Amino acid sequence: MTDLTILEERFQAKIDAELKIEPKDWMPEKYRKNLIRQISQHAHSEVVGMLPEGNWITRAPSLRRKAILLAKVQDEAGHGLYLYSAAETLGTSREQTIDDLLSGKAKYSSIFNYPTLTWADIGAVGWLVDGAAIMNQVMLCRTSYGPYARAMVRICKEESFHQRQGYEIMAVLANGTPEQKEMAQDALNRWWWPSLMMFGPTDANSPHSAESMKWKIKRQSNDELRQIFIDRTVQQAEVIGLSVPDPALKWNEATQHYDWGTIDWSEFNNVVAGNGPCNKERMVARNKAHDEGAWVREAALAYAAKKLKRKAA
Amino acid sequence: MSNNPNNWPLWEIFIQSKRGLEHKHVGSLHAADPQMAIENARDVYTRRQEGQSIWVVPAGAISSSQPEDAAMLFDPADDKTYRHPTFYTMPEGAKYI
pLDDT tens series, chain B, 97 aa? 456 777 899 999 999 999 999 999 999 999 999 999 999 999 999 999 999 999 999 999 999 999 999 999 999 998 999 999 999 999 999 999 9
Q: Report domain B10-64's class.
A: alpha beta
B58 touches chain A (CB under 8 A): no
Of B8, B48, B66, Cβ closest to residue A301: B8
Q: How far is B75 from chain A (nearest CA, A)?
A: 18
pLDDT greater than 70 at residue A176? yes
Query: pLDDT tens for residues A21-46?
Result: 999 999 999 999 999 999 999 999 99
Best of A68, A82, A99, A156 to disrupt the B interface (most B CBs within 10 Å) is A82
This prediction has a pTM of: 0.93
State the complex-level ipTM: 0.89
Q: What is the pLDDT of residue A231?
A: 98
Contacts of A303 in chain B (CB under 8 A): 32-33
Contacts of A146 in chain B (CB under 8 A): none
Q: What is the mean pLDDT of chain A?
A: 96
Of A74, A93, A304, Cβ closest to residue B33: A304
Domain boundaries, chain B: 10-64
B1 touches chain A (CB under 8 A): yes
> CB neighbours (10 Å) of residue A189?
14
Contacts of B14 in chain A (CB under 8 A): none
Helix H, strand E, coil C: the string for chain A is CCHHHHHHHHHHHHHHCCCCECCCCCCCHHHHHHHHHHHHHHHHHHHHCHHHHHCCHHHCCCHHHHHHHHHHHHHHHHHHHHHHHHHHCCCCCHHHHHHHHHCCCCCCCHHHHCCCCCHHHHHHHHHHHHHHHHHHHHHHCCCCEHHHHHHHHHHHHHHHHHHHHHHHHHHHHHCCCHHHHHHHHHHHHHHHHHHHHCCCCCHHHCCCHHHHHHCCCCCCCHHHHHHHHHHHHHHHHHHCCCCCCCCCCEEECCCCEEECCCCCHHHHHHHHHHHCCCHHHHHHHHHHHHHHCHHHHHHHHHHHHHHHHHHHC
**A interface toward B at CB cutoff 8 Å?**
22, 24-26, 71, 74-75, 78, 81-82, 85-86, 88, 91, 93-96, 150-151, 154, 158, 297-298, 300-301, 303-304, 307-308
Residue A254, C-beta contacts closer than 8 angstroms, at least 6 positions apart? none
- How far is it, in rounded angstroms, from Cα B89 to Cα B63? 41
Q: What is the pLDDT of residue A223?
A: 96
pLDDT greater than 90 at residue A63? yes
Contacts of B31 in chain A (CB under 8 A): 300
